[in-house]
Structure 1
């Protein structure tokens, strides 16, 4: 601001009213508020700029959504206090998307904008302005120049609908596809080809992946396909300065493509022609902050609003993606069965009848003879072996060796775990050591393993195969790649490194830990993790083998054996339709103290046909209620819950209530 006194202020001559979204995440304040633009801030107060305003006696942040000639407010309007920066960080199309996402998830616009626009970094803004001034450059939104030529079809020719997909993208059309990737597929290269086709058609693209390992692979593939300086990465791991610099590059139109983790789902790409997501079943795509949007749903909403193409890809297929196919919203892109059989490794279950006949202990052995033989043969052929173990650590759960009673902490009753072969048992909840533990049931002091973790597995296999290098990849250290020679790689799900030339064998252990979880998505998640690991093995013709220690009659195991994620997704969706579970219906969870949950539901005008399920205990003294409605009434449900939350915040209810529409976990 200038030195103008408050009493001497006058409104700007043109469009003196600013509509502002104030950064106050209270449900009853989820609407724009009108302010006057003082004349001295007229040039800086552009739509999309960050501002500061007086609200309820306090100076708060806000986003200037638009300028108007008049206001519907009959009282006296306050002035904008400050324009934090004239940089229009909030693009109009992103503001529109944020409003739709907030309404879909029963949230407030301020919460969504906090996810969509990264925090300001003043030094980065000054650097960009100075660089443009020194170079006498064209305006920041001049764009990156002429689009490249359409790419070759490449690996998409392995899918009958693949070439048509690329032609549609290059032609400026908006195809929508659910892609089931082949085993061993170089998926970053396929995504790079789809993005290059979109850019060749004169439009931009946004691609979201689950983690930074996938982001690095996609970054390299796009650099090769598009050339330098035509895309940026957006990820919270970049740090404030690099993230904001990448964000502004996209906002100015300096690059046509943005890739990243879920932070990129709101990236301000101009003339967006493609939104894509890889492995949409990964729970990292779900935002843990209110209003808890899922990257897949945000991108699909964006495709709908901007008439853009959509690509949902992965080795596995979620029930949500299957619903897109069955409703006709998207077409599936899959290879024919002959190609699948030629590309997939030889997959064998260790728990079916023929294996049990040869090895009766296979039903209970953690590493049955079939798995041991597959690993031995691969190592003898000088090939690496991947061992997927669902649990990290050494022995994450132990029990009394005498009576098998689970070992619990004497202070807080939490589960005891062993950190190493020589370490003392420690509580996983409070961290206290229990060196003098004695079983309260029989008095025994010896402990046995209840659950075996990745580090203990590495120790056991290192003894079983002496002289063979053993590497671990998990939470403490995640490997990206491993060499192609003989070696053992023990990895937790999602941390499997890529082996040079592919693995000779992949062993999928402790399947019960995935299949017996009390979760609606247990089978879907187990298959997703198995397919991701099996996809790293060599084809069967080149000696690749996969052994899954599970009963071959189970549906997820059958889908793995046939490499048919679409069949399993269709089965899952049909079962959920019959039982009334998402995505066949819409559900919302209401979590909080019992009185607060009852208060909110009493205020909510739920749509006709809404069912209340629960309550069930949540963490602490809280409880959880589920509300189920048909998909056609999803908007009415979200609106009713948001309005009820607004009534509670308006009267300053003491106990907060957490609202989640379509939560990942229901139980």
Structure 2
């Protein structure tokens, strides 16, 4: 007999003779191994890109019962104990040498479900990142005490049906295809849609109740739902709407799994709810206690079984963009999850993002919008007070609050609250010389000076240094004048202009913080974009000041974001037949201004998309930003095997982030690549772009180039970001 045809001598007692090239091997320490499936494939928490793969470890016999796919384990890697997740167990390995054994099982709880593991791998591949980075976003830190909870579960009290529930059916009935969406979800189908919500007043009016009805329709089919919203205020509004529709909130101990006849329940999953309630909500979904999860970015990875629908509300909001590597966007994560599981997909907003419009244009999703007559009936009257419109007022038309706006606010205060949106927070965030108007700069770091109050000393916005003896370097004047007026100064001015009227300020930097709701009594509510409180009956008037500031900067999404901020505020105003008015004050760019007056976000999104197809810009193209030392960037770009139709722009020098300035989520500094600001050489940036259809090929090419550079331990410092928000 040919010796090569004989089976190899067994190295693991009790196991059958292996077939094929791979075989299970004895642990390096000689520890007795599990009799069945003795090899565990582990995702090890290590950072180098070339190590982004699964590693094989032997399973000691003593751990065989507790080592299951999804459990947390400790393993030995490069001489250190590191964390990992068991992805699967197999009966043989392709590794040529002896294998190490698992060190210990951290918890018997299988926190990584197969679906979420597959999703994490897909997200990592889509963004040219590592799976361990994605798992940090998907799985909260472990709390052993929560895992052992077994008390009776408490849920929020059931609320009696609210009269506003009638608005649900009217909202979806007013949307073309809205009733069909609910019917298909109830029947167990999985539609994909982009929904432009109608404006609605009140804490529950408009989108919260409509979205809650879509969730309830999916739950009636026996399937799960995941809803991702921008912030905790939106989560609270949706939670209240769900309770109104009879879906209870689980708020305490895990308890037993409810029976099929029990009430439908949901949990919240947000980053600011604290470690214990967050982990409790995560386990409630993981163990099947609830099948509805609502929350912020982390909810996109919620381990809900048998998904029927995933929802991204307000995808334009910057809070949907993850701040940590590999910087995934919730919209893309949920789209990948929809493709992976075959569940329904819904993007909703009062506005329309260009990326959502691209999904509609490609046929991947259907459009859900109301006809023009319905939009005009539900929306307030919008008027743009530009310099042309105000020319007949003479010098008064150049005021920050022209006479037309003053009269509208005066009239609105007779019947309810008035909303005033200001694009900048603070008192006077930017000041200049009173004589020559040279911008006032800090003598220490050359940062901009600002005033925090009427009698405050000028202070640097970057380093915080006081500038009590400031003198203009151009004309030696010592006085300062405002260049940009913030929300605090605006509230002060309005308080003087409207004596006796209550003035409230809502914003992250204001004394009262972000206000969730205000009463219907007459008051002036001054806020920054995104911090608009809700009025139960809606605002009578909204004045959007300094409109030119919203469109004054250069960027790929300037017009889209400006229109989104305006529509978000205007959607809180009463309909035009109830006297609701919105005044846009200032000379903003004409394209978003016209779209706002017409209340046509889909039209603007389609126009922007057509222009980007012609100019080869995202989302018609998929781009990657490569930032770092000139030599390192050149080496890396040369190594990338570009897909067909790919091209490289640059490299060009880029200014490092200004001291004290906000660093965007996609700035250099990704894990595995240090910042280049500490080097003597100015950093450069190259833009790699390919047609959108070859975007995943680009991600694979970038991952391969990163792995090669990591394995060779090249000293160049680079940062790779796929789908950066801006190219400049």
TM-score in terms of structure 1 length: 0.94
Task: Summarize the alignment of residues 202-601 of structure 1 with structure 2, pairs less than 5 Å apart.
Answer: 202-228=222-248, 229=250, 230-351=265-386, 353-359=388-394, 361-362=396-397, 364-379=398-413, 381-476=414-509, 477-551=513-587, 554-601=590-637
CA contact (8 A) 1:182 1:343 kept: yes
Q: What is the deviation of 1:550?
A: 3.4
- Conserved 8 A contact 1:454-1:490: yes
Which structure's residues are more often helix, by fraction? 1
Identify if the C-alpha distance between structure 1 residues 635 and 618 changes in structure 2 by more than 3 Å, giving closer, same or farther: farther
Check the 8 A contact 2:622/2:691 in 1, yes or no: yes
Corresponding position of 1:146:
none
The equivalent position to 2:683 in structure 1, one of 595, 604, 622, is 622
Deviations 1:431-471 (A, max 9, x none): 00000000000000000001000000000111000110000
Matches within 5 A, 1:27-42: 27-42=49-64
**Structure 1 residue 186 displacement after superposition:** 2.0
1:559-586 per-position Cα deviation (integer Å, ceiling 9, x unaligned): 1111111101101111111111111110
What is the CA–CA distance in structure 1 between the aligned matches of 2:114 and 2:308, rounded to whole Å?
16
Change over 3 Å in CA distance of 1:580–1:6 after alignment to 2: closer
Change (3 A) 1:552 1:89: closer
Bigger mean CA offset, 529-538 vs 158-167 = 158-167
Alignment match, 2:698: 637
Give how far 1:367 is off.
1.3
Q: Partner of 1:196 in structure 2? A: 216
- Counterpart check, 1:651 vs 2:712: yes
* 1:172 equivalent among 188, 194, 204: 188
Task: Return closer, same or farther for 1:7/1:567 CA change in 2, 3 Å cut-off.
Answer: closer
Q: Distance in 1 between matches of 2:644 and 2:577?
A: 57
Q: Relative to structure 1, is the Cα distance of residues 655 and 433 closer, same or farther in structure 2, using a 3 angstrom cutoff?
A: farther
Confirm or deny: 8 A CA contact 2:28 2:99 kept in the other structure. no
Counterpart CA distance in 1 for 2:227 and 2:557 is 25
Deviations 1:184-237 (A, max 9, x none): 252111111000000001100000000111111111112222432411100110
Cα deviation, 1:505-549, whole Å, max 9, x if unaligned, reads 101111121101121100000000000000111111111110001
Query: Alignment partner of 1:114: what SS?
Result: helix
**Structure 2 vs 1, CA of residues 265 and 248 (structure 1 numbering), >3 Å: closer, same or farther?**
same
1:607 deviation in Å?
A: 2.1
Alignment match, 1:46: 68
Query: Contact 1:232–1:255 at 8 Å: present in 2 too?
Result: yes
Q: What SS class does the counterpart of residue 724 from structure 2 fall into?
A: coil
Pairing of 1:14-33 with structure 2 (within 5 A): 14-33=36-55
Q: Distance in 1 between matches of 2:690 and 2:655?
A: 22
Partner of 1:481, secondary structure, is coil
Distance 1:584 1:570 in 2: 12
Matched residue SS, 1:127: coil
Long gaps (5+) in structure 1: 136-149
1:598, CA displacement in angstroms? Answer: 2.3
The CA distance in 2 between the partners of 1:360 and 1:574, in whole Å, is 40
State the 1:370 CA deviation: 1.5
> In 2, Cα distance between the equivalents of 1:550 and 1:182?
26
CA distance in 2, matches of 1:655, 1:126: 48
Quick check: 1:591–1:618 contact (8 Å CA) kept in 2?
no
Match of residue 141 from structure 1: none
**Contact residue 550 and residue 557 of structure 1 kept, 8 A:** no
The answer to whether the 8 Å contact 2:547/2:588 transfers is no
Partners of 2:491 and 2:526 within 8 A in 1: yes
Quick check: 2:547–2:587 contact (8 Å CA) kept in 1? no
Kept in 2: contact 1:370–1:547 (CA 8 A): no
| Map of 1:603 onto structure 2 | 639
Distance in 1 separating the partners of 2:575 and 2:169: 23
* 8 A Cα contact 1:352 1:552, kept in partner: no
Q: Is the 8 A contact 1:177 1:310 kept in 2?
A: yes
Tell me, in whole angstroms, the C-alpha distance in 1 between the residues paired with 2:467 and 2:587: 37
- Are the aligned partners of 1:616 and 1:625 in contact in 2 as well (CA < 8 Å)? no
**Which deviates further from its counterpart, 624-633 or 293-302?**
624-633
RMSD: 1.8
Determine if contact 1:153/1:166 at 8 Å carries over to the other structure: no
Measure how far apart 1:609 and its partner are.
Answer: 2.6
In 2: Cα distance, 1:500 partner to 1:96 partner: 43
Using the alignment, how far apart are the partners of 2:274 and 2:148 within structure 1? Answer: 18
The separation in 1 between residues aligned to 2:443 and 2:544, in whole angstroms, is: 35
8 Å CA contact 1:478–1:495 kept in 2: the answer is yes
Unaligned runs of 5+ in 2: 1-26, 154-164, 251-264, 657-676
Contact 2:208-2:237 within 8 A present in 1 as well: yes
Number of equivalences: 643
* Residue range with higher mean Cα deviation, 603-612 or 450-459: 603-612
1:122 to 144, 160, 169: 144
CA distance in 1, matches of 2:244, 2:406: 40
CA distance in 2 between partners of 1:162 and 1:232 (Å): 26
With structure 2 as the length reference, what TM-score do the two structures score? Answer: 0.86
Q: Shift of residue 652 of structure 1?
A: 2.6
Aligned to 2:175: 159
| Paired position in structure 2 for 1:142 | none
Which deviations, in whole Å up to 9, do the C-alpha atoms of 1:476-527 show, x marking residues without a partner? 3000001111110110000000112111110111112110112110000000
CA contact (8 A) 1:19 1:32 kept: yes
Tell me, what secondary structure is at the counterpart of 2:110? coil
Task: Give the whole-Å Cα distance in 2 for the aligned partners of 1:213 and 1:471.
Answer: 18
Separation in 1, partners of 2:409, 2:381:
13
C-alpha separation in 1, matches of 2:127 and 2:576: 45
